[in-house]
Amino acid sequence: MWLVLLGPPGAGKGTQAQRLTTELCIPHISTGEMLREVKEEPTELGRQVTDFLAKGELVPDDLIIQLLGERLAKEDCCGGALLDGFPRTTGQAIALEQLLADIGASLDGVLSIEVPQDEVVQRMLKRAKVEGRDDDTPEVIRNRMSVYQRSTQPLIDFYRQRNQLYPIDGLGSPNEVFERIQDAIESIRKDRADAGK
């Protein structure tokens, strides 16, 4: 099953993605995690990525599309994957369709975790204390939110128009949110069966 997990920073995507991929036996591909690894490399690319992450800006589409393409070519993706943090722009969404078509696959559904902005900012400030992520400072958080609204929010319409969007209420305990995600997976399976896939 090929899934995308959408949602603002701080919506709890990482936690939910881990549970869901364990249940579905597919890899969890987090482009944020991939970039945090690249950042540690003593290369020019590592240095460039460090700058984008520190400011809360998106890395250029070409760069992330190339990295994702390499990741999708790995054997563990033969039965699908859950993409967390990709796509983040409409350009990336269009590139994803092509990357999947190249490996004979297509997207089954987009899970969109919806949480009001005030709540996600509070959650991220809390996470900053616990995890010590250097892109969780108040200033960078503000920028990441505005980047999300400007670049990633339009994807919700993009996928809604394609009938691929499954909205999830992200308020409540992680268990409650996970139950809603499981319901959405059932709907995706049903829609897929109805479409004869």
> What does the binding site for ligand AMP look like in residue numbers (CB under 6 A)?
9, 31-32, 35, 52-53, 56-59, 64, 85-86, 88, 92, 135, 144
Q: Tokens representing 137?
A: 């400072």
Instruction: Identify the active-site residue in 71, 88, 123, 180.
Output: 88
Asked about 144 being catalytic, the answer comes back as: yes
Residue tagged 């616990």 (tokens):
130
Residue 129 CB, nearest approach to ligand AMP (Å): 17
Choose between 2 and 86: whose C-beta lies nearer to ligand AMP: 86
Beta pairing partners, 6: 112
Q: What counts of helices (H) and strands (E) characterise the chain?
A: 9, 5
Asked about 127 being catalytic, the answer comes back as: yes
Asked about 133 being catalytic, the answer comes back as: yes
Residue 148 CB, nearest approach to ligand AMP (Å): 9
Give the residue at shortest CB distance from ligand AMP: 32
Choose between 64 and 181: whose C-beta lies nearer to ligand AMP: 64
Residue 30 CB, nearest approach to ligand AMP (Å): 6
CA distance 166 to 150: 21
Given a contact cutoff of 8 angstroms between Cβ atoms, the answer to whether 9 and 144 are in contact is yes
38: Cβ contacts below 8 Å, ≥ 6 apart: 45, 46, 49, 67
Residue 194 CB, nearest approach to ligand AMP (Å): 31
Asked about 47 being catalytic, the answer comes back as: no
60: Cβ contacts below 8 Å, ≥ 6 apart: none
Catalytic residues: 13, 88, 127, 133, 144
